[in-house]
Chain A
Amino acid sequence: MKKYLGPLSKDNPILVQTLGVCSALAVTAQLKPAVVMALSVTVVCAFSNLIISLIRNTIPSRIRIIVQLLIVSFWVVLVDLLLQAYFYEISKLLSVFVGLIITNCIIMGRLEAFALSHKPWPSFMDGVMNGLGYGLVLVVVAFFRELLGSGTLWNHQVVPNALYHAGYLNNGLMILPPMALILVGVMIWVRGSGVDR
């Protein structure tokens, strides 16, 4: 199990490999979409890895990127359809970003670097852990952005009204993408300073 834990910190796709930053900035203004996005990426990454690993010996290397894209798109469209049918409200929150999972470099990166050369089960686990490593950063960033930017968590108000009456204001910058970039930067710095060692 331990060998799969890398993506959570020392090989974290966002904090170490700086992949998938774009969507990390886009969907982290609130916790709920961030969590659903994290789960969607985890599902897509894990199952794409699994499929590619299963058929890895049949894929001609000249067209492997095309094949990878096809498989990733397949899972993304499937996830999108299921969200629309069963979790309609959440699918609206995520809007275009579910479709954009296709272009998430983390997934293509794992397919290319791992699934093409490993057996199905390790590939599946690699996908799950990378998805979770990505999701971890999303959730932390979204936590601070929603708390400081909107005074809520999971759409429930947590900053007491008394504080607002005392003159406290939500930080408008928190809900804008630049602040997400700054927060991700801070996380990279904190991680790089060796807290996980």
Chain B
Amino acid sequence: MRKFSNTYVFLYVSALVLLICVVLASVSIGLKSKREANVTREKYQQILKAAGYKDVPKKKTVSFFQEIAESEKGGKTSEQYHIRCADGNPGIVVRVQGKGLWGPIWGYVVLSEDGSSIKGVSFAHKSETPGLGAKITEDEFTNAFIDKKLYDQNGVFTSVRVVKKGQEGDLLEENRVDAISGATITSRGVDNMMKELRIEN
């Protein structure tokens, strides 16, 4: 290998870093709108799924959502929408968020108009374990939430708890769903997230 002077080394690295920065920054800026559109579309897709709409084509997601969204009512601390659900009835969409095992988890809960029961949910996660915690996004888990009640027989807010089989305690069938076996922490995360569920006016 040739010997290089210190000046050469310094200039070489500086030039290389600068070049890479410029290229990556331009690519990043160039693709920014596309990435943001993906994020928005995904959000609407999640809400539509929670509201019971199946098979909305990817490309039509945004326009379809705008069609069924009756008003965008932002709560003080969380996003909230009033939409028309797939069964024709109005529903309130509330965003929930929390922590899984490896990173954030979040979701959209569609409540009946009086806010007492769940019409549907959809969850998402940043980096839960595939096949374990990641199962919170699957229908098998989310369908269990449909028609569950947020209040117990005395009218006390219990939310819908995610509990392991055998640890139900006094919880009514309509106030709980089964946790995912092998994904204790993620299930607990969903449980905590659901406990925080509030409708804001």
Instruction: Give chain A's interface residues, CB within 8 Å of chain B.
Output: 29-30, 33, 57-63, 66-67, 70, 73-74, 77-78, 81-82, 84-86, 88, 92-93, 95-96, 145-146, 149-150, 172, 174-176
Contact = CB atoms under 8 A, between A and B. Distances in A.
Given A63-B9, A81-B31, A74 B24 contact: yes
Range for the number of chain B residues in contact with chain A: 20 to 34
Contact of A172 (B23, B24, B34, B182): B182
A30 B131 contact: yes
Most buried by A among B24, B31, B130: B130
Interface of B: 1-2, 4, 8-9, 12-13, 16-17, 20, 23-24, 27-28, 31, 34-35, 38, 42, 103, 126-127, 129-132, 181-182
Contact of A70 (B17, B42, B127, B132): B17
B2 to A, nearest CB: 8
A85 B38 contact: yes
A115 B35 CA distance: 34
Contacts of B35: 81, 84-85, 88
A33 B130 contact: yes
Given A81-B24, A88-B42, 4 more contacts: A29-B130, A70-B17, A70-B20, A176-B132
Nearest to B130: A29
B24 A60 contact: no
A77 B131 contact: no
22 contacts: A29-B130, A60-B4, A67-B12, A70-B17, A74-B23, A74-B24, A78-B27, A81-B31, A84-B38, A85-B35, A86-B34, A88-B42, A92-B126, A95-B103, A95-B126, A96-B127, A145-B131, A150-B131, A174-B131, A175-B129, A176-B132, A176-B182
